[in-house]
Structure 1
Amino acid sequence: MARSSSVRTYGNWRKPVSPGIGRLGMLGTMILLIGLVVTSLAMMISLVAGLVVAVTLGVVLLPLLVQDRHGRTALQAATARIAWWRGKSKGWHLYRSGPLGIAAHGSFRLPGLLAPSRLITAQDSYGRPFGMVVMPQAGHYTAVLECGADGAALVDQDQIDTWVAHWGQWLAALAFEPGLVAASVTIETAPDLGHRLQREITANLYPDAPEMARQALREIIATYPAGSAQVSTRIAVTYSAAPRPGAKKRTLEEMAREIGTRLPGLSSGLAMTGAGTARPMTAPQIAASVRVAYDPESQATISTAAGDEPSWNDAGPSAAQEAWDHYRHDSGYSITWGMSEAPRGEVLSNVLNGLVAPHRDIARKRVTLLYRPHDPGTAARLVERDRKDARFRITGANAAARDAVAVAAADQSAREEAKGAGIVRFGMLVTATVHSSEELKTAAAAMDTLAPPARVQLRRVYGAQAAAFAAALPLGVVLPSHLQVPSIVRESL
């Protein structure tokens, strides 16, 4: 962080890159070196053999060298397209549930990555019930905190800076949480139907109130919700059943007791971050929020039927169909974008205000920040490795100015980590939901105007809209844990 004219700015985030020659990562560099050795040996046999090996080497390396503006290589784009064609040919992009669907017992189970999930009820150490989402395929257990954030309107800048500082401390403390693998913050904006206001006024209306007061309250109920938006903030914390790699996995009862013990500390730590009062969401509340996400038209029914929320087996859509660039689910059409590049340079604390605020061209908007903290030992190794990688790229006469800035940022990160700062991997998913396919282009155009002021580069998640939609929900879907390609291979590209 730095101060300029008494205005506090933030930055110094770096996208991890694999060390290599030019645009090649470690894997591409190893292929290049091995190919050059094989080419030299082949040329000792014959010139034709050497040329054949050299051409083959060029064909292999070309998909790794060609990149788009988001840093995605041609190999990654081709792999995504082939995987999409393969899944579509097998009908994996279609989902039907209910009495005429494929779900067991005519239920409305969640599709895709959330299909094997379960939702159970547990109690924290304060005696408060909370819902815990179980992902058996990954061994992950997630609890969700609902926050009453008031926003930064009419708040002094010093108070905002204090909130940001405490939020950074809260994120850094996640690295010391045993077994915690990920956390996410979801800010969702949707039309306010006024049902909550109506219930609150009706429940507190005095029977002998004057008629003038009653008339005023009736007018408030009728006019206040018009054009207003409902903003909800939810924080999901995800723990692994194995406290460390190779350790024995804990049982469901042990995880419920472990998470229940840690929730009060996590929720109380959010008090000074501007999140307001944080309370764990119950299982019916989680199921209701997921139901509304997949079927926006059900919001009116669920909000009026307080205490009659759907069960987890009925929280999914009755029909869903994934396309290459969007996702159709019951009464909604959604597009999900992923952040390909964080804001460059230094930014102010309000850089994301426009992105998370309600927009008239988008019926429902969900902005999810994904965090994966490194433990202190891994963080120390990573910052030192980043320093070496950054210095390796700046060697030579053709070093770019961006490489020099990367060296300075890597040095600063190493100094801050040595002083006790935490290292957190973060990403962002943005989902825009509308009511018809004709509105998709309008929503996409609106997102194109919201991303530049936020200084983030967004890329539509082509070929994986259903998985990205599920990951943007506060349910603890950690995407790297569900990929078939090993992480060591992905990080070496």
Structure 2
Amino acid sequence: MTVQPPESGDAPAAVAFSRLSRRGVLLGLSLPRLLAVAVSVATMVTALYLGGGTLLALAAPGWVGGVVLAWVPVSGRPLVEWIPIAARWCWRASAGQLVYRRRIVALRPAGTLALPGDAASLREYVDPTTGTAMIHDPHARTLTAVCQIEHSSFMLLDSAEQQRRVNAWGRVLATCCRSGRLAVLQVSERALPDSGSGLADWWRQRGTDDDSWAAATYRDLIARAGPAGERHATTISIALDLTAAARQVRAAGGGLRGAAAVLRQEMTTLTAALRTADLTPTGWLDPGQIAVVLRSAYDPAVAAALDRHGELGRDLATAGPVAVTETWDRLRSDTGHHAVLWISEWPRSAVYPGFLAPLLLTSGTRRTLSVLYTPVRIDQAARDLRRRRTEHLSDAAQRARLGQIDDPVHTAEYQDILQQEADLTAGHGILRYTGLIAVTNTTADQLDTAIADIEQAAVQANCETRLLSGQQAQAFAAAALPLCRQL
């Protein structure tokens, strides 16, 4: 992502995102496409050598199939690249992994989160110092903590203040890059039905309920308007890389206790950086608050009730879903129908910092927008950029020898690499980011309508979205749960 200077002193600077790399192994072909082309060519040459034109005609299904697999696109990707996804889907279907039903009578191991799929391995660890719920992933070797954030409305600020806050947020991300111990940083913004508890608490604390006609009218208005409203909740999650921080963990005592001590240091650093950026951390979530978030994601019908009653649904052992059924491009859990969209293209032209407003302010649609940042170490980023630059130059030379015209897309990707190298030399960090949108509704027909609304809002935000296929359960855990899960 590059920043262009503002046209005037008051206007915020426009930003331009790097393009999604389309470069393949050779001549723009990915490894599956290259294999399909190689099989097709080998079949043709063998047929011509052994039997001439007759055998070539008989072998046509083989070499024509390879060409079709390599060049015919389906839903934005070549047919051959769907083979691993479809194979994994069929394997999961044959193993019965598309359907999850909680066994109510059987006891679960202590400390587990009762989540389906590959998230079943997650474990809870309560930090004895802060009371924060830390989620341990033994397979990915991460330890995650979640922070609730409050902030003022960005769109209502003047241009100068918007630019100042954008620069401050950039410093927050730079702090995460310099750490070298964070595996993932996740920013999650959820649009939830408002239970009315916020308005009721405000009236109870600041209102004058003197049984007058005005007070009765105001109280009735709050009772009617609260549950019909909508509220937004923002969280920032950080996942400590236990492999990268192994030395610090051993120095702190080892095990989860030592990892928690190292993660507390990152939490303190992030809290200070957020306050500098005028973001207000309201606290790191405890086990009860994490349980409410998980339960509300899989069972949206009870979200308002859990918000009104502060003591219900706050046990992590029962926070997961009772039933989950995954289909090719949908997910159903308890009282919700879900679908996850991937932001496959961010704005290609320069846009201003509030470009996501159409997505974030879409009313009447329950959705969760998650952006997962993966910090890259400085040395690793430098090596990766040098490798990519060399590969681009090699591909350009190969295309020139074959007489191919240089593709403007390849030229734009090469310019992005040069810009990233310049930013890295100037002392900035490199982050890989992934945008996911989890859309939820109560019926399948309403879900289709909500998906169409989100796709239209993404167009207004100059973004391109794709409905993920064959991996909805894993994508939902990454998008809707603030646990730094990755696809």
TM range (shorter): 0.7 to 0.9
Give secondary structure in 1 for the equivalent of 2:16.
Answer: coil
State the shift of 1:316 in Å: 0.9
Q: Show the counterpart of 2:393.
A: 391
Q: Show the counterpart of 1:322.
A: 326
Give secondary structure in 1 for the equivalent of 2:272.
Answer: helix
Q: Show the counterpart of 2:84.
A: 79
Alignment TM-score, normalising by the size of structure 1: 0.85
Check conservation: 1:19, 1:25, Cα contact below 8 A: yes
Change (3 A) 1:247 1:355: same
Check conservation: 1:144, 1:475, Cα contact below 8 A: yes
Q: Show the counterpart of 2:346.
A: 342
Q: Show the counterpart of 1:302.
A: 306
Measure the CA separation in 2 of the matches of 1:138 and 1:206: 53
Check conservation: 1:96, 1:318, Cα contact below 8 A: yes
Q: Show the counterpart of 1:144.
A: 146
Q: Per-residue displacement from partner, 1:141-196 (whole Å, max 9, x unpaired)?
A: 11001100222233111111111122122212212224211111111001112023
Q: Show the counterpart of 2:422.
A: 415
Q: Per-residue displacement from partner, 1:373-394 (whole Å, max 9, x unpaired)?
A: 1000011112222322333444
Give secondary structure in 2 for the equivalent of 1:10.
Answer: strand
Q: Which runs of 5+ in 2 are unaligned?
A: none
Q: Show the counterpart of 2:161.
A: 159
Q: Show the counterpart of 1:92.
A: 97
State the shift of 1:200 in Å: 4.4
Give secondary structure in 2 for the equivalent of 1:243.
Answer: coil
Alignment TM-score, normalising by the size of structure 2: 0.86
Q: Does the alignment pair 1:258 with 2:262?
A: yes
Measure the CA separation in 1 of the matches of 2:315 and 2:302: 14
Check conservation: 1:184, 1:474, Cα contact below 8 A: no
Equivalent of 2:204 in 202, 205, 209: 202
Equivalent of 2:15 in 6, 10, 19: 10
Q: Per-residue displacement from partner, 1:424-483 (whole Å, max 9, x unpaired)?
A: 111111011101122122112212211111122111111111111111134434335xxx
Q: Does the alignment pair 1:135 with 2:141?
A: no
Alignment coverage as a number of residue pairs: 471
Measure the CA separation in 1 of the matches of 2:413 and 2:463: 18
Equivalent of 1:180 in 179, 182, 201: 182
Opposite residue 344 of structure 1, the aligned amino acid is R
Opposite residue 333 of structure 2, the aligned amino acid is H
State the shift of 1:9 in Å: 0.7
Give secondary structure in 1 for the equivalent of 2:384.
Answer: helix
Equivalent of 1:405 in 408, 412, 415: 412
State the shift of 1:337 in Å: 0.7
Change (3 A) 1:59 1:247: farther
Measure the CA separation in 1 of the matches of 2:325 and 2:40: 44
Q: Show the counterpart of 1:24.
A: 29
Q: Show the counterpart of 1:289.
A: 293
Q: Show the counterpart of 2:124.
A: 119
Opposite residue 271 of structure 1, the aligned amino acid is R
Opposite residue 436 of structure 2, the aligned amino acid is L
Measure the CA separation in 2 of the matches of 1:32 and 1:2: 42
State the shift of 1:233 in Å: 0.4
Moved more, 190-199 or 375-384: 190-199
Measure the CA separation in 2 of the matches of 1:371 and 1:254: 25
Q: Does the alignment pair 1:237 with 2:244?
A: no
Opposite residue 479 of structure 1, the aligned amino acid is Q
Q: Which runs of 5+ in 1 are unaligned?
A: 481-493
State the shift of 1:343 in Å: 1.7
Give secondary structure in 2 for the equivalent of 1:386.
Answer: helix
**Aligned sequence identity (%):** 22
Equivalent of 2:69 in 59, 63, 72: 63
Give secondary structure in 2 for the equivalent of 1:225.
Answer: helix
